[in-house]
């Protein structure tokens, strides 16, 4: 993969690390509540669900970092495509079921990185 694709993948991965932190550790605090538009009561009652969701975002980030760091370029390409498609699909599902802004925050960056991986 070229440098531009690797940088874009890294940015998508960092975004998912941030989402993981919000969901796993900051969900019931002011930052998590503001980011997701939560009331304190709702945040408290969904804390375990959010932590589980955060863990999945952490797995996505780990896979994306793995694709950038893997020494075999052909396999790294496959890893990158797989995890970027997973991020994009998760973003589409989140936009359809939760908030349309997820499409811009999650899916668009993943698709841009995916296009860079495929065409650059």
pTM of this structure: 0.95
* pLDDT at residue 35, as a whole number: 95
* pLDDT at residue 1, as a whole number: 86
CB 22 within 8 A of CB 31: yes
Nearest of 53, 49, 54, 78 to residue 64 by alpha carbon: 78
Residue 31: C-alpha distances to residues 12, 35, 49, 111 (Å)? 20, 6, 17, 27
Domain boundaries, the chain: 3-20+49-119
At 44-87, the pLDDT tens digits run 999 999 999 999 999 999 999 999 999 999 999 999 999 999 99
Under DSSP, is residue 14 helix (H, G, I), strand (E, B) or coil?
Answer: helix
Question: Structure tokens of 44?
Answer: 């408290």
């Amino acid at each position: 993969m070229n440098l531009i694709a690797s940088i874009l993948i890294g940015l998508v991965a960092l975004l998912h690390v941030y989402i993981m932190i919000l969901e796993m550790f900051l969900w019931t605090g002011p930052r998590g509540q503001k980011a997701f538009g939560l009331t304190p009561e709702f945040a408290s009652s969904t804390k375990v669900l959010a932590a589980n969701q955060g863990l999945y975002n952490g797995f996505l980030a780990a896979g994306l970092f793995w694709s950038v760091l893997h020494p075999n370029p052909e396999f790294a390409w496959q890893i990158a495509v797989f995890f970027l498609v997973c991020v994009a699909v998760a973003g589409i599902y989140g936009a359809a079921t939760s908030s349309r802004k997820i499409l811009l925050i999650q899916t668009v960056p993943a698709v841009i990185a995916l296009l860079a991986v495929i065409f650059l």
